Structures are given as structure tokens and as C-alpha cells.
């Protein structure tokens, strides 16, 4: 297929999980792709899965000051950018009394501050038209215990999708969001202090999904391909909730 033929795309956190699968589908649809990541093991796997033509940028999504350098690397490689998928994120689930300021700030830096300044840095090289897709979360809508900081960060990102959709449409940039429910990715490997505790937390999350299972990264990536493509030319400021019915409870 060729829904993204001749388009240049950047995916943050594109070396694992939803980001890696989206990169794979973007390439299959004809796009030239750049991904960001920091984990050497994940970077090596992304290179194996995506091939030698993918541009891999080692960048910390939570470092606001470094986002301009990411934009410069994309400009040097592609000249212009047609698609941005803001995917890099952190999901730390713990009771409110367990949080300290440093951990709070780190979650907000990765999930909100870094993305904001990346979008700002990329503005000069976006094509007209272009598409931005923000990966938010169903947790922005539901009151899941222990998700306070994660949920508020994703709610902020969802709000940003709404406000920027109005602010940037005059530049020809469409902004939309996907809000996944729990998806089988490495994001859910570190909820507990021990493997047994993590398994218990993951089971409790699964019990809250009417469909009875975690989603698959490919199910989210397909929606992102649509929003990134010209098929979604009239879709602006939208949120696609993909959660197995979780928000209906």
C-alpha cells in the first residue's frame, strides 16, 4: 500500500512498543521514517526490524533543551517533515503518597514538556499540509487508582492536541490524538517493584477491560496511519479512543 508515499515522518519513542510498530507500518505505506530512542538494545532491535534506511536519533524525550537538536537532525536528513507522531512516554503507577518531586517532574518532562518543545522546534520544517498525532491515554478520562500523575500528564497532552489543532490549522498542520487503553508493550513491564507485583497490577488492569484483554500495538498503529494520511484531511482536533471498551465502565 502507499497511503504515505513520499512523506517524511518522525516518531518519538519509535524503537519499541506502539512507536516501533507504527514505524513499521509507516514504512510499509511508503514513508521515510525517523525514530527517537535512548535504550541501546531497543535501538538495535529497531534497526533490525525497520532496516538500514530508517534514521535513528538518540534523544531523551524529556529533555526540552535537546528538542531543537532533534529538529535539526530531521531537517538535515529530510529537509521537511510531513508527519509527527508524539509517542514517547512514561507510565509510572503508584499511590499518591509514594511520589516525590523529582519523579513527578520526570513524568511531566517526558509526557508533556518535551513534546511541547519538540513541536515548537519542528514548526519551521513542517510541510503544508502536515499531520501531528499525539499519543495520549484512556487514563485521561477515567479515575484509575495509582494513575494520578500519569493521568494528569496525558490529560495535559490531550488538551494540547485540542488547543494546537486550532492554533496550527492556519499553517496547514492538522493535530489529532489517539487515546489507547492498555496495550501489550514494555510500558507495562515496570509497574511493580517485583515481577510478581507487576503481574498482579497487570492482571488488575486487564480485569477492567470489557473486551477481556490488552490491545495489540498494531491495532493502535493502524489508527495512526489513518490520521497521518491524506484520508484524514478533514479530521482536525479529534481524539480516537481505542481501549477495548474501558471508558464505558
- What's the rounded mean pLDDT across residues 74-79? 98
Tens-digit pLDDT profile for residues 190-208: 555 667 777 787 888 888 8
| Domains observed in the chain | 8-248 (3.40.50.720)
Tens-digit pLDDT profile for residues 96-132: 999 999 999 999 999 999 999 999 999 999 999 999 9
Catalytic residues: 150
Model pLDDT, residue 202: 80
Model pLDDT, residue 197: 75
SS (H, E, C) the chain: CCCCCCCEEEECCCCCHHHHHHHHHHHHCCCEEEEEECCHHHHHHHHHHHCCCCEEEECCCCCHHHHHHHHHHHHHHHCCEEEEEECCCCCCCCCHHHCCHHHHHHHHHHHHHHHHHHHHHHHHHEEEEEEEEEECCHHHCCCCCCCHHHHHHHHHHHHHHHHHHHHHHHHCEEEEEEEECCECCHHHCCCCCCHHHHHHHHHHHHCCCCCCCCECHHHHHHHHHHHHCHHHCCCCCCEEEECCCHHHC
- What's the rounded mean pLDDT across residues 159-181? 98
Question: What's the whole-model pTM score?
Answer: 0.93
Amino acid at each position: 500500500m502507499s497511503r504515505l508515499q513520499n512523506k517524511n515522518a518522525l516518531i518519538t519513542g519509535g524503537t519499541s512498543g506502539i512507536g516501533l510498530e507504527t514505524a513499521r507500518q509507516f514504512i510499509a505505506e511508503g514513508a521515510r521514517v525517523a525514530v527517537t530512542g535512548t535504550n541501546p538494545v531497543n535501538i538495535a532491535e529497531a534497526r533490525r526490524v525497520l532496516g538500514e534506511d530508517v534514521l535513528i536519533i538518540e534523544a531523551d524525550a524529556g529533555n526540552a533543551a535537546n528538542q531543537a537538536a532533534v529538529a535539526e537532525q530531521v531537517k538535515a536528513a529530510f529537509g521537511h517533515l510531513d508527519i509527527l507522531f508524539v509517542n514517547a512516554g512514561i507510565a509510572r503507577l503508584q499511590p499518591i503518597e509514594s511520589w516525590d518531586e523529582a519523579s513527578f517532574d520526570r513524568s511531566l518532562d517526558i509526557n508533556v514538556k518535551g513534546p511541547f518543545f519538540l513541536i515548537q522546534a519542528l514548526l519551521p520544517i513542517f510541510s503544508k499540509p502536515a499531520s501531528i498525532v499525539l499519543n495520549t491515554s484512556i487514563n485521561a478520562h477515567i479515575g484509575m487508582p495509582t494513575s494520578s500523575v500519569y493521568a494528569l500528564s496525558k490529560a495535559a497532552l490531550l488538551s494540547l492536541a485540542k488547543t494546537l489543532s486550532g492554533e496550527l490549522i492556519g499553517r496547514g498542520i492538522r493535530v489529532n490524538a489517539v487515546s489507547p487503553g492498555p496495550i501489550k508493550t514494555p510500558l507495562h513491564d515496570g509497574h511493580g517493584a517485583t515481577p510478581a507485583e507487576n503481574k498482579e497490577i497487570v492482571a488488575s488492569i486487564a480485569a477492567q477491560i470489557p473486551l477481556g484483554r490488552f490491545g495489540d500495538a498494531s491495532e493502535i498503529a493502524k489508527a495512526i496511519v489513518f490520521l497521518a494520511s491524506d484520508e484524514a484531511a478533514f479530521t482536525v482536533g479529534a481524539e480516537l479512543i481505542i481501549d477495548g471498551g474501558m471508558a464505558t465502565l
